[in-house]
A = this chain, B = another copy of it.
Amino acid sequence: MSSIHEECGVFGIFNRNREHDAAQETYLALYALQHRGQVSCGIAVRNDQTVDCITEPGTVPDVFNKDKLAALTANGKGDVALGHVRYSAQGEEDEINSQPMVMSYEKGSISIANNGALVSTAKLRQKLESNGSVFQTNSNAEMIVHLIARYRLNTQNIETAISQAMRELEGAYSFILMTPHKLIAVRDPKGFRPLCYGKLGDSYVIASESCAIQSIGGEFIRDIKPGEILIITNEAVYSNTDNCGQKSAMCIFEHVYLARPDSVIDGASVHRSRLNAGKFLAIEHPVEADVVAGVPDSGIDAAIGYANQSGIPFGLGLIKNRYIGRTFIQTTQKQRERSVQIKLNPLGNEIAGKESCLLTIQLSEALPAQSLSKSSGMQAQRKFI
Chain A residues close to B by CB (< 8 Å):
21, 24, 27-28, 31-32, 34-35, 38, 59-61, 64-66, 69, 101-106, 110, 126, 129-136, 142, 145-146, 149-150, 153, 211, 214-217, 260-262, 264, 269, 271-272, 300-301, 304, 307-308, 313-316, 319, 321-329, 331-332, 335, 338, 341-342, 345-350, 353
Contact status of A349 and B264, CB under 8 A, knowing A136-B102, A153-B130, A153-B132 = yes
Give the residue name and chain of the B residue nearest to A130 (CB). Answer: B106
| Complex alpha-carbon distance, A137 and B27, angstroms | 24
Do residues A342 and B31 form an inter-chain contact, with CB atoms below 8 A? Answer: yes
| Complex alpha-carbon distance, A24 and B342, angstroms | 13
Give the residue name and chain of the B residue nearest to A331 (CB). Answer: B24
Q: How far is the CB of A328 from chain B (nearest CB, A)?
A: 7
24 contacts between A and B (CB under 8 A): A21-B332, A24-B335, A28-B335, A28-B342, A32-B345, A35-B322, A61-B326, A65-B329, A66-B329, A69-B329, A69-B331, A103-B135, A104-B135, A105-B133, A105-B134, A106-B126, A217-B338, A260-B319, A261-B347, A272-B353, A304-B315, A304-B316, A308-B313, A314-B314
Give the residue name and chain of the B residue nearest to A64 (CB). Answer: B329
What's the number of copies of this chain in the assembled complex? 4
Give the residue name and chain of the B residue nearest to A318 (CB). Answer: B262
Across-interface contacts of A327 in B (CB, < 8 A): 61, 65
| Complex alpha-carbon distance, A260 and B319, angstroms | 8
Across-interface contacts of A315 in B (CB, < 8 A): 304
| Complex alpha-carbon distance, A327 and B66, angstroms | 9
Given contacts A64-B329, A106-B129, A134-B149, 17 further A-B contacts (CB under 8 A): A21-B331, A24-B331, A28-B335, A34-B323, A38-B323, A61-B324, A65-B327, A105-B133, A131-B131, A214-B345, A216-B338, A217-B338, A260-B319, A262-B348, A269-B349, A271-B350, A307-B314
Across-interface contacts of A131 in B (CB, < 8 A): 131-132, 153
Q: How far is the CB of A356 from chain B (nearest CB, A)?
A: 12
Question: Which of B101, B104, B136, B350 lies in contact with A269, CB distance below 8 A?
Answer: B350
Question: Which of B129, B145, B341 lies in contact with A215, CB distance below 8 A?
Answer: B341
Across-interface contacts of A269 in B (CB, < 8 A): 347, 349-350, 353
| Complex alpha-carbon distance, A211 and B346, angstroms | 10
Considering the complex of A and B, which 3 residue pairs feature the smallest CB-CB distances, nearest first? A34-B323, A61-B325, A106-B129
| Complex alpha-carbon distance, A247 and B142, angstroms | 42
Do residues B101 and A136 form an inter-chain contact, with CB atoms below 8 A? Answer: yes
Across-interface contacts of A59 in B (CB, < 8 A): 323
Q: How far is the CB of A357 from chain B (nearest CB, A)?
A: 16
| Complex alpha-carbon distance, A69 and B131, angstroms | 36
Do residues B136 and A149 form an inter-chain contact, with CB atoms below 8 A? Answer: no
Do residues B347 and A262 form an inter-chain contact, with CB atoms below 8 A? Answer: yes
Q: How far is the CB of A50 from chain B (nearest CB, A)?
A: 12
Give the residue name and chain of the B residue nearest to A269 (CB). Answer: B350
| Complex alpha-carbon distance, A346 and B262, angstroms | 7
Contact status of A134 and B69, CB under 8 A, knowing A271-B350, A315-B304, A349-B264 = no
| Complex alpha-carbon distance, A313 and B312, angstroms | 10
Give the residue name and chain of the B residue nearest to A323 (CB). Answer: B34
Give the residue name and chain of the B residue nearest to A132 (CB). Answer: B150
| Complex alpha-carbon distance, A246 and B331, angstroms | 45
Question: Which of B28, B105, B106, B341 lies in contact with A338, CB distance below 8 A?
Answer: B28
Give the residue name and chain of the B residue nearest to A319 (CB). Answer: B262
Q: How far is the CB of A371 from chain B (nearest CB, A)?
A: 20
Q: How far is the CB of A49 from chain B (nearest CB, A)?
A: 13
Question: Which of B102, B217, B313, B346 lies in contact with A307, CB distance below 8 A?
Answer: B313
Do residues B331 and A103 form an inter-chain contact, with CB atoms below 8 A? Answer: no
